[in-house]
């Protein structure tokens, strides 16, 4: 199988976005992008970077990376971007390959207003990660985290700048957040001091872009019951009443105010219908499943809300759990909840499990869990089919790098085995999971599930983790739509499957009458579209091959002249889908997918 290409997320800063993918610059307007800059160095080009000291080159380290190799250099820098950039985030994978002394530094920088004036997020030779202001020869530490720095490990560093608020994270864990107005604007940079280091996957994102119009066409059909439309943006000002506040240092039984926060399990039992639980930013290290129990319901007009505090990122980390089906992360067994803006990672089973109905899960990330990142299935083995979870909306969310030890269960998103009607996935992204991107599996023991809608979503590189791990047991499909010859009439529309390890879209023994419309499938290892039986309807579907030979598509059912399936040559629409893949969420939550820097939402 060909090695997976590395994704670049095209964002926007200051009106125009310049996307750098494999050394190629593409400029698009801010109506079309939400990423200002990205670089993966795969082409070997360093165009757009300006050097100041050190010995820099492109080398191979699993992928092409940007290296500064002289650990004796007093200070080495590479700068990129625009000196007018002010409010943005910059993220990169960073490896400190050697330190000449404990004072050595390998850093990601932002708002570089000069060669020695910038904010830095530094891996240090003293086994710390530090958030710093550099102003000439003066270094002010804004935040610090003890961390063993391995010279064989890449760490994901992220600097976020919003006005005078400067914050940094390593692998999603907060290093610190501080108020500092020393530097108002400036470029991004890569820096070493008395150290050697490697850098990859640089992404600048301000998240402020808004598309100028909705996707080009509306869904052609709808599920029987449509979930309530969620808010398009998070609250910007927390309410003064009806809210409980949770923090990493919260105490069970505390008042739940900003100054006396409580714990998440405590807040879940106390919040009233129409009320909100605000999770402050930071990493919550949890060993036990957090459950929103059956009966702890909101109402259709007064949902209970579990939300990230505006502008902050709470991470529920279950690394303390062993791999076991009993060790889920967050269980949502109740009805009429709205979960917003949280990350759930490293659970011993599913990151988020939904056994309730009429819920909205929005702008969440599920990652590194040991079963499917987010799964919708019945709450218990005794739950009758009439009470299977129904009418849940999963929107503007991401699931990646989920892996079970057997390599065949951990999908990005799943609505399978025992899910009810009306479940919808919209504007979601599933990538680099060990099994499938989406799994709608059915089995004869439990019979058909309710029809599922997946729309305006993206599935790529499934079957291969971000670190390159592949398990031969994994099915590795983008969208797996059935199982065991049970007919279910799913609606799959306006979706993209890209470079998955087996099929892009597969019926997987679902002989039903599915609607497969306005979908695009590119360079999947076997078939882009694989439908060997059934009476499904295909309309305006596009299949393209640029770098992976694969096999001809097979589509049993109703096709017409609007479809362009692969049978040895690309159709006319494939020209739209060449170039580097990128994606981002717009301010209103819509998924914006780009190829070669141009928005191509099908």
Q: CATH no. for residue 339? A: 2.160.20.10
Task: Give exposure, 254-285, as e/b (b: 16+ Cβ within 10 Å).
Answer: bebeeeebbbbbbbbeebeeebbbbbbbbbbe
User: Domain check: are 355 and 487 in the same one?
Assistant: yes
User: Domain check: are 497 and 367 in the same one?
Assistant: yes
User: Domain check: are 32 and 172 in the same one?
Assistant: yes
Question: For the purposes of burial, counting CB atoms within 10 Å of the CB of 294, is it exposed (0-12), middle (13-18) or buried (19 or more)?
Answer: middle
We report the CATH number of the domain holding residue 103 as 2.60.120.560
What are φ and ψ of residue 71, in 5° steps? -70, -10
Residue 169 in any domain: the answer is: yes
pLDDT tens per residue, range 205-215: 864 333 333 33
Clarify whether 480 is annotated catalytic: yes
DSSP letters of 385-413? GGGS--S-EEES-EEE----TTSSS--SE
- In 3D, which of 393, 455, 397, 388 has the Cα closest to residue 416? 388
Tell me the C-alpha distance between 108 and 305, whole Å: 35
Q: Look at residues 205, 229, 253 and tell me which one is the last residue of a structural domain.
A: 205
- In DSSP terms, 438 is beta-bridged to 413, 479
User: Could you tell me if 418 and 451 are in contact, meaning their C-beta atoms sit under 8 angstroms apart?
Assistant: no
Structural domain count, the chain: 2
- Averaged pLDDT score across all residues of the chain: 88
User: Could you tell me if 526 and 552 are in contact, meaning their C-beta atoms sit under 8 angstroms apart?
Assistant: no
User: Domain check: are 189 and 333 in the same one?
Assistant: no
Residue 348, classed as helix, strand or coil, is coil
User: Domain check: are 435 and 581 in the same one?
Assistant: yes
- In DSSP terms, 30 is beta-bridged to none
User: Domain check: are 344 and 469 in the same one?
Assistant: yes
Residue 568 in any domain: the answer is: yes
Handedness of CA 131, 133, 139, 141 (dihedral sign): negative
Tell me the C-alpha distance between 249 and 252, whole Å: 10
User: Which run of H or of E encompasses 267?
Assistant: helix 264-270
Structure-token pair, residue 339 = 């979960």
**pLDDT for residue 239:** 56
Residue 590 in any domain: the answer is: yes
Instruction: Look up the domain containing 168 and give its range.
Output: 16-205
Q: Look at residues 160, 189, 205 and tell me which one is the last residue of a structural domain.
A: 205
User: Domain check: are 348 and 474 in the same one?
Assistant: yes
User: Could you tell me if 299 and 272 are in contact, meaning their C-beta atoms sit under 8 angstroms apart?
Assistant: no
Residue 166 in any domain: the answer is: yes
Sheet strand arrangement including 581-585? 581-585, 591-595, 598-599
The 3-class SS string of 302-332 reads ECEEEEECCCCCEEEECCCCCCCCCCCCEEE
State the pairing for strand pair 50-52/76-80: antiparallel
What are φ and ψ of residue 269, in 5° steps? -80, -15
Handedness of CA 317, 318, 323, 327 (dihedral sign): negative
- In DSSP terms, 260 is beta-bridged to 257
Structure-token pair, residue 561 = 């002249």
Question: For the purposes of burial, counting CB atoms within 10 Å of the CB of 537, is it exposed (0-12), middle (13-18) or buried (19 or more)?
Answer: middle
Residue 516 in any domain: the answer is: yes
Residue 299 in any domain: the answer is: no
Handedness of CA 202, 204, 205, 210 (dihedral sign): negative
- The backbone region for 227, taken as left when phi is positive above 0, alpha when psi lies in -120 to 50, beta otherwise, is beta
User: Domain check: are 196 and 320 in the same one?
Assistant: no
**How close are the terminal C-alpha atoms of the chain, in Å?**
27
Residue 283 in any domain: the answer is: no
User: Domain check: are 353 and 473 in the same one?
Assistant: yes
Residue 228 in any domain: the answer is: no
- In 3D, which of 469, 480, 379 has the Cα closest to residue 3? 469
Q: Look at residues 175, 205, 235 and tell me which one is the last residue of a structural domain.
A: 205
Report H helices in 2-122: none
Mean pLDDT, consecutive 10-residue stretches, the chain (602 aa), reads: 40 33 30 63 88 93 90 94 90 94 95 94 94 93 90 91 91 85 94 95 65 32 36 49 91 96 97 96 97 97 96 96 97 98 98 98 98 98 96 98 96 98 97 98 97 98 96 96 97 98 98 97 98 98 96 97 96 95 94 93 84
195's CB contacts (< 8 A; 6+ apart) are 71, 96, 98, 99, 100, 104, 105, 106, 125
pTM for the full predicted model: 0.66
């Amino acid at each position: 199988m060909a090695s997976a290409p590395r994704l670049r997320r095209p964002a926007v800063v200051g009106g125009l976005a310049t996307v750098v993918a494999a050394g190629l610059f593409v400029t698009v307007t801010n109506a079309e992008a939400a990423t200002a800059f990205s670089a993966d160095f795969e082409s070997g080009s360093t165009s757009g970077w300006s050097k100041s000291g050190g010995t820099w080159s492109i080398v191979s380290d699993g992928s092409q990376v940007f290296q500064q190799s002289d650990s004796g250099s007093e200070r080495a820098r590479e700068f990129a971007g625009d000196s007018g950039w002010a409010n943005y985030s910059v993220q990169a994978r960073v490896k400190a390959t050697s330190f000449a002394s404990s004072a050595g530094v390998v850093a990601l920088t932002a708002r570089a207003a000069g060669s020695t004036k910038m904010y830095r997020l530094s891996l240090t030779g003293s086994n710390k990660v530090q958030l710093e202001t550099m102003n000439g020869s003066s270094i002010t530490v804004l935040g610090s985290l003890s961390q063993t720095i391995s010279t064989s490990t890449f760490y994901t560093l992220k600097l976020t700048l919003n006005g005078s608020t400067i914050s940094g994270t390593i692998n999603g864990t907060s290093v610190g957040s501080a108020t500092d107005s020393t530097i108002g604007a400036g470029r991004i940079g890569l820096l070493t001091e008395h150290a050697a280091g490697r850098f990859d996957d640089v992404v600048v994102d301000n998240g402020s872009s808004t598309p100028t119009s909705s996707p080009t066409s509306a869904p052609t059909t709808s599920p029987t019951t449509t979930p309530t439309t969620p808010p398009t943006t998070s609250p910007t000002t927390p309410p003064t009443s009806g809210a409980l506040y949770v923090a990493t240092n919260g105490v069970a039984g505390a008042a739940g105010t900003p100054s006396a926060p409580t714990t998440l399990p405590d807040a879940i039992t106390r919040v009233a219908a129409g009320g909100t639980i605000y999770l402050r930013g930071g990493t919550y290290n949890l060993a036990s499943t957090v459950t929103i129990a059956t009966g702890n319901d909101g109402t259709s007009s007064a949902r209970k809300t579990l939300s990230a505090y505006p502008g902050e990122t709470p991470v529920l980390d279950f690394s303390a759990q062993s791999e076991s089906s009993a060790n889920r992360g967050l269980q949502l067994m109740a009805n009429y909840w709205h979960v917003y803006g949280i990350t759930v990672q490293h659970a011993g089973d599913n990151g988020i499990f939904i056994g309730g109905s009429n819920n909205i899960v929005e702008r969440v990330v599920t990652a590194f869990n040991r079963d499917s990142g987010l799964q919708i299935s019945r709450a218990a083995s005794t739950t009758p089919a009439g009470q299977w979870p129904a009418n849940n909306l999963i929107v503007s969310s991401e699931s990646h790098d989920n892996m079970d030890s057997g390599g065949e269960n951990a999908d990005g998103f799943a609505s399978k085995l025992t899910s009810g009607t009306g479940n919808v996935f919209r504007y979601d992204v599933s990538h680099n999971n060990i099994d499938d991107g989406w799994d709608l599996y059915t089995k004869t023991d439990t019979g058909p599930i309710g029809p599922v809608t997946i729309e305006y979503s993206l599935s790529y590189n499934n079957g291969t983790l971000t670190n390159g791990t592949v398990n031969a047991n994994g099915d590795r499909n983008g969208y797996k739509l059935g199982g065991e010859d049970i007919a279910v009439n799913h609606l799959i529309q306006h979706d993209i499957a890209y470079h998955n390890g087996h099929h892009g879209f597969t019926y997987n023994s679902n002989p039903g009458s599915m609607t497969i419309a306005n979908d695009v499938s590119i360079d999947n290892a076997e078939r882009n579209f694989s439908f060997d039986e059934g009476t499904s309807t295909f309309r305006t579907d596009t299949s393209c091959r640029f770098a992976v030979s694969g096999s001809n598509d097979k589509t049993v059912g109703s096709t017409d002249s609007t479809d362009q399936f692969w049978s040895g040559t690309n159709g006319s629409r494939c020209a739209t889908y060449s170039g580097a893949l990128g994606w981002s969420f717009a301010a209103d939550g819509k998924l914006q997918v780009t190829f070669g820097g141009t928005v191509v939402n099908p």
